[in-house]
Structure 1
Amino acid sequence: MSPREDPVAARDSGLGADERVGQDRRQTCWAWGTPGLARQASASCKQQTRSLRDAWPNSSTGLARQLTCKPNPRRVNRPAGKARSLNAIPRARDASTAIGNDSHPHAIFPRRGRGATVQPNVVLHPCGAAADRLRVWLGIFGKTASPASLSWRLDGVVVEPSTVVRPLESVRQGTYLSGSPPRTFTGVFDFVLPPAAQGRAHVVEAMIPGEPTPASLTTSPVPAQVGTDWSQPFNVLTMSCFDTATDRGKARQVLSSLPQHLVPHLTLLTGDQVYLDAPTPENLPNDDVALAEVLEQKYIHNWRTPGVFSHVLDMAPTVCCPDDHEYWNNYPTRFAFAGNTWQAKGRQRWMAIGKRLYQCFQHTNAVPFGHPIRVDVSPLSFLVVDTRSFRDDGGNNNTLHGNALAAVKQWAKSLKSSGHIGVFVSGQSLMEDAKGWFGARLKDATLANFDDYAPIMEALHEAMRDGSDILLVTGDVHWSHVAQLEPVDALVNGSRAFEVICSPSSLLNSIFKATKPPPIHEWAGSKRQTGMRLPTRMGKDLKGDHACILSFRRIGLRSAPSVELKVTFVPLSPGEPPYELGSTLVLRRR
């Protein structure tokens, strides 16, 4: 499948900083206490707000003033200990009118020099599902009510969806809505394909009254099985940690030019598809309606075409899992640079809105939100697990939804009866060492800090004892590697595991810079924690912005299938060559 061409490719690429930012450059920063730290924060905010100025042409200047504030020299030079409260930063006077004002299309961050960017009001993105269907996410932007009618065409023929996975509804509703302002409506729809039409590209169109042209998407269903020829491998694109403000169109440019043998058939996004807490710091409103408006706009910036991240979403049918920035840094614990998280009430408000937004934009499966999502491409079985949304910083020391652990165990047991090889996808690594009390709160807790970590690992070890190698796919750590894992009971358990980490894809520009990958013995958990010997890194570990392509080829008998795996890291900087792991991995079903 070829990626959908974007008619306005220049939107987040090539324009100069002066054209994007103009003379009204503002930053969000409170008094830091020292001039040096203030300068770092100022540089960070300048970089991050570039995309905000270009992102929301239908918003008003009130939101611009709310999201950004002019630097104050008196703040910069204020002695340490005299910093002004975050809540002292002025907010927009009328948050209810700060967003989605279609009557004032150029009120915030007007485009300069090359004409206005046209953003469609109706957008489609492909979603991961079974091989017998196309699943599409539909977004309708800037409307005061759900459309009176909605019609579809598949390859030019008028059709009705086979299944409404999630009906079209307003993202903001109930306590998050005041009146009937322009806002976003989303839904998820399935179109079952006859056997003869599976395995090839189709054109899906959605039409609503009042829109001059339909939304159109060219996509293919997820393949039913892995092929046997390296000239036509089954490719999975995996990415994490994508900040559009620092990407500036580089990902679109690189991924649009992938050679045919690397074009993905499935995309796995393993967390931080949005940064709801960026720029850092930022003074966000403290009421339901205004906060929901602001955070919804950050999703719109990424999901609405022709933005740079919307191109990633169109590369192939996509399945997502969240990590902390789908909420805020180190969620669910308080974050020093996010004033809304300092009190329990503020954290609860942000958490509830973040969950609602995630469900409407990223959760596109029929299983309830928080339950693992399974996608089978024989002989592979992918399980995409939300290990972040249902953490609780007060008493409940679990990382999974209440019913998710049972689903993980059931999946692990089913690998034997189905003859599949397991691929476990999560927002954080299962191999990372547990943090101490201080580290878990100042930095971020790892999966090993939670009570349901041991049952997850036991389920995976049981699957390995039943004859399946396991592939772990994750992100989060801001460096990338491939590691081989050997269980401590290797004498009686012949299976192996591998871990692929790809992070980041576009590193958030902040005062906290990424470091090079730590030595494996300092980062990985003990064998008592993981049940694995010390991981062995394969090839070189990487720093910088990358996407990763996992290319699979089936080998062996159908009764005992195995797959070969080639791992290719693609630097998301034009002109840099891909790095392919020197050795081909083999995942076996014993």
Structure 2
Amino acid sequence: MMMVYRMAAAPGTLYLWVGLFNVPQPAMPVASTSSAPVNVSIHSPLRAIRDGIADNDQHPLNHRVVFKLTGLANDQDAEITIRSGTDLQTLRCRSLPAQVPWAMDGSFNILLCSCYSQPDDGTGLLSKIVSAPHLRPDLTLMMGDQIYGDLPLFEDLPTDTPGLARKLGRKYLNNWRPMQQGESGSGLSSVLSKAPSLCVADDHEYWNNYPYRQYQLPKTYTAKGRAQWRAVAQALYQDYQLIDPALPIDPEMDKVVFHNTALQVDPARPTLDVVHRLDIDPLKLLVVDLRSDRDPGYWQKDFPVSAPHAQPFDSLVSPKVMAEMRRWADDLLLAKQNRQPAFGLFSSGQAFLIPPAEEKDREKVDAEMANYRQFNEQIMPIFEQLAAADIPVVYITGDVHWGRLAQARQSGSSHTTLHEVISSPSFVIHVAATDSFKLIGNSVRRLFGQSDPWPRHPSVPQPPGKVGRLTLPQFDPEHGSGLRQRGDQIAMLSFRRAGAGIDFDVTYHAVTDNRKLPPQQYSQTFSLRVL
């Protein structure tokens, strides 16, 4: 089986991720096109996906290669043919637009998707919703929890690294596997085939509240277990969701997962440094993985920790990624200085307008970004600086299992400088113990005509009254500018040029077959202007 999905890049360029499944020693795929002046080259060579899945002769069965397309136009499709052995796929590709269109010419559309539990989507409902022809994104943001590597709870994970790789690898395989002609099944292939995508991880690519020990996950009790799980999860994240060969691909992991050689834990391991930058004039988009490189060194320590270089809740990203974030902000500030319109988009795996977890809960349940020193001392000041310069930013995320559109004003300002768009989950996880009680309670309420259409989903909270050191945000989540979406969902974020600025709106699409529920919820139109 072969699967192809497009990975987004700067206008004029595109990457094609090609997965070959259940094929030992596959023929090297060949990508070709007759669409001049498009050029096709190999960006990342054919290699085994590090999932430990092999045939009886220990030949890996699943492989991937990444092709790079250049010379693409944004107003005309190029036909690309990919062939490997008897497998053949033809797809039409076009570049991301160089700029946001004027309202009369359409819109620049971003599909938002996060938090997908494939085992719970038994009928392929997400695929049915996202395959609707009226959904026409230019770009898809996969904002974390593309798999739930830590479910089911209390799963008896293998102690050997190859066994762990096979267990986690099959979860990726189930989510990424290609759909056959006419097949309607669960997985993310329909989402990934909709438009060029960018992916970042959140905790469930690893385990809940990574990198911290979790009581419901016995493998996280020891430093050895955490290090092993982390190494395997990171390898699969790289193989399925990332494209850049400059990332530190560990050649020894092939030997570990396929031949059970000893896993070497390197305390000086390089950080992943996952950051994507796309400029669609006048939007400047930065997508940052704020999960994978948290508290380097801490994950390998047994509790309690006393080493000064491994303090808890200290850092989210490396200095290299912080430099990219500052460069993004500096570009926005420079554009304003030069009287050029420019607006910030920022996406990561956790919410921005949310209070920190309480001290007693931050290791046990879910720590927020605001629990980390680096967020408060280095990242928040970047957003405060942009707000002080009256440069609007739209922050895009998932994670929390509810959808919300909220705004914030910096203290003393008369207009909105920060918009947050949350879309989560695309299909919620099933937690047997707690969900059973919720469903029983809902059955009782149904007898009195008060049933809840989303009994397993949390209610949507109001944003906090204050975020950051200097800002005093003012929210109106209930009236006028706010919007809340409960239940399984995806969202479309649409941008249009308007005068010297940008107008945008959000459409939430319910992932449900309940005809009594509205299929969409529409926001008002918001205006981004640099004053």
Task: Give yes or no for TM over 0.5.
Answer: yes
Which of residues 286, 309, 322 in structure 1 aligns to 2:201? 322
Distance apart, 1:587 and its partner CA: 1.4
Q: TM-score, normalised by structure 2?
A: 0.79
Alignment of 1:501 onto 2:415: no
Alignment of 1:203 onto 2:73: no
Match of 2:275? 372
* Residues 437 and 497 of structure 1, relative CA distance in 2, 3 Å threshold: same
RMSD between aligned residues: 2.7
Q: Find the aligned partners of 2:331 and 2:44 in 1 and give their Cα distance.
A: 27
* Residues 518 and 546 of structure 1, relative CA distance in 2, 3 Å threshold: closer
Answer whether contact 2:102 2:496 (CA < 8 A) is retained: yes
Alignment of 1:544 onto 2:487: yes
How do residues 229-240 of structure 1 correspond to structure 2 at under 5 angstroms? 229=103, 232-240=106-114
Distance apart, 1:402 and its partner CA: 3.9
Which of residues 152, 169, 175 in structure 2 aligns to 1:296? 169
Alignment of 1:404 onto 2:321: yes
Q: Find the aligned partners of 2:464 and 2:430 in 1 and give their Cα distance.
A: 26
**What does the per-residue CA deviation read over 1:71-91, in whole Å, with 9 as the maximum and x for residues that have no partner?**
xxxxxxxxxxxxxxxxxxxxx
**What does the per-residue CA deviation read over 1:300-341, in whole Å, with 9 as the maximum and x for residues that have no partner?**
111121153111101100001111110112211122222211
Answer whether contact 1:146 1:170 (CA < 8 A) is retained: no
Match of 2:213? 334
* Residues 463 and 143 of structure 1, relative CA distance in 2, 3 Å threshold: same
Q: Find the aligned partners of 2:245 and 2:140 in 1 and give their Cα distance.
A: 18
How do residues 128-207 of structure 1 correspond to structure 2 at under 5 angstroms? 128-145=8-25, 147=27, 149-155=28-34, 161-162=40-41, 164-172=42-50, 180-193=58-71, 197-207=73-83
Answer whether contact 1:125 1:217 (CA < 8 A) is retained: no
Match of 1:107? none
One-letter amino acid of the counterpart of residue 194, structure 2: M
Match of 1:474? 397
One-letter amino acid of the counterpart of residue 281, structure 2: S
**What does the per-residue CA deviation read over 1:178-202, in whole Å, with 9 as the maximum and x for residues that have no partner?**
97333322222211125xx433223
* Residues 500 and 422 of structure 1, relative CA distance in 2, 3 Å threshold: same
Match of 2:520? 579
Q: Find the aligned partners of 1:349 and 1:457 in 2 and give their Cα distance.
A: 33
| SS of the residue 1:440 aligns to | coil
Answer whether contact 1:132 1:192 (CA < 8 A) is retained: yes
Percent identity of equivalent pairs: 31
How do residues 20-59 of structure 1 correspond to structure 2 at under 5 angstroms? none
Alignment of 1:353 onto 2:232: yes
How do residues 564-575 of structure 1 correspond to structure 2 at under 5 angstroms? 564-574=503-513, 575=515
How do residues 373-452 of structure 1 correspond to structure 2 at under 5 angstroms? 373-392=276-295, 393=298, 395-396=310-311, 397-418=314-335, 419-452=341-374
Q: Find the aligned partners of 2:365 and 2:48 in 1 and give their Cα distance.
A: 35
Match of 2:183? none
Distance apart, 1:356 and its partner CA: 0.9
Answer whether contact 2:49 2:62 (CA < 8 A) is retained: yes
Match of 1:263? 136
One-letter amino acid of the counterpart of residue 509, structure 1: H
* Residues 165 and 531 of structure 1, relative CA distance in 2, 3 Å threshold: farther
Answer whether contact 2:140 2:198 (CA < 8 A) is retained: yes
Match of 2:449? none
Answer whether contact 1:124 1:216 (CA < 8 A) is retained: no
Answer whether contact 2:396 2:420 (CA < 8 A) is retained: yes
One-letter amino acid of the counterpart of residue 289, structure 2: D
* Residues 216 and 533 of structure 1, relative CA distance in 2, 3 Å threshold: same
Distance apart, 1:365 and its partner CA: 4.5
Distance apart, 1:383 and its partner CA: 0.6
How do residues 102-117 of structure 1 correspond to structure 2 at under 5 angstroms? none
Answer whether contact 1:488 1:532 (CA < 8 A) is retained: yes
| SS of the residue 1:225 aligns to | coil
Answer whether contact 1:146 1:168 (CA < 8 A) is retained: no
Distance apart, 1:251 and its partner CA: 1.4
One-letter amino acid of the counterpart of residue 458, structure 2: K
* Residues 238 and 530 of structure 1, relative CA distance in 2, 3 Å threshold: farther
Distance apart, 1:146 and its partner CA: 5.5
One-letter amino acid of the counterpart of residue 451, structure 1: R
Q: Find the aligned partners of 1:176 and 1:409 in 2 and give their Cα distance.
A: 44
Distance apart, 1:495 and its partner CA: 5.8
Distance apart, 1:347 and its partner CA: 0.7
* Residue range with higher mean Cα deviation, 546-555 or 238-247: 238-247
Q: Find the aligned partners of 1:525 and 1:290 in 2 and give their Cα distance.
A: 47
Q: Find the aligned partners of 1:486 and 1:124 in 2 and give their Cα distance.
A: 42
One-letter amino acid of the counterpart of residue 406, structure 1: A
Match of 1:462? 385
Distance apart, 1:370 and its partner CA: 2.3
Q: Find the aligned partners of 2:465 and 2:222 in 1 and give their Cα distance.
A: 32
Which of residues 502, 505, 510 in structure 2 aligns to 1:563? 502
Answer whether contact 2:290 2:317 (CA < 8 A) is retained: yes
Q: TM-score, normalised by structure 1?
A: 0.72
* Residues 415 and 165 of structure 1, relative CA distance in 2, 3 Å threshold: farther
One-letter amino acid of the counterpart of residue 366, structure 2: D
* Residues 234 and 154 of structure 1, relative CA distance in 2, 3 Å threshold: same
Q: Find the aligned partners of 1:469 and 1:550 in 2 and give their Cα distance.
A: 16
One-letter amino acid of the counterpart of residue 67, structure 2: F
How do residues 481-500 of structure 1 correspond to structure 2 at under 5 angstroms? 481-490=404-413, 496-500=417-421
Distance apart, 1:280 and its partner CA: 2.4
One-letter amino acid of the counterpart of residue 349, structure 1: Q
One-letter amino acid of the counterpart of residue 285, structure 1: P
Distance apart, 1:423 and its partner CA: 0.5
| SS of the residue 1:188 aligns to | strand
* Residue range with higher mean Cα deviation, 150-159 or 413-422: 150-159
Alignment of 1:273 onto 2:154: no
Q: Find the aligned partners of 2:54 and 2:168 in 1 and give their Cα distance.
A: 11
Instruction: Provide structure 1 residue ranges, at least 5 long, that are not aligned to the other structure.
Output: 1-120
Which of residues 459, 468, 477 in structure 2 aligns to 1:517? 459
Distance apart, 1:217 and its partner CA: 2.8
Match of 1:110? none
Answer whether contact 1:488 1:527 (CA < 8 A) is retained: no
Distance apart, 1:226 and its partner CA: 0.8
* Residues 584 and 367 of structure 1, relative CA distance in 2, 3 Å threshold: farther
**What does the per-residue CA deviation read over 1:69-110, in whole Å, with 9 as the maximum and x for residues that have no partner?**
xxxxxxxxxxxxxxxxxxxxxxxxxxxxxxxxxxxxxxxxxx
Answer whether contact 2:48 2:60 (CA < 8 A) is retained: no
Distance apart, 1:277 and its partner CA: 1.5
One-letter amino acid of the counterpart of residue 388, structure 1: R
Match of 2:307? none
Instruction: Provide structure 2 residue ranges, at least 5 long, that are not aligned to the other structure.
Output: 180-185, 248-271, 300-309, 336-340, 436-455
Q: Find the aligned partners of 1:373 and 1:475 in 2 and give their Cα distance.
A: 17
**What does the per-residue CA deviation read over 1:437-476, in whole Å, with 9 as the maximum and x for residues that have no partner?**
2211221110001121021111122223334200010111
Aligned residue-pair number: 454
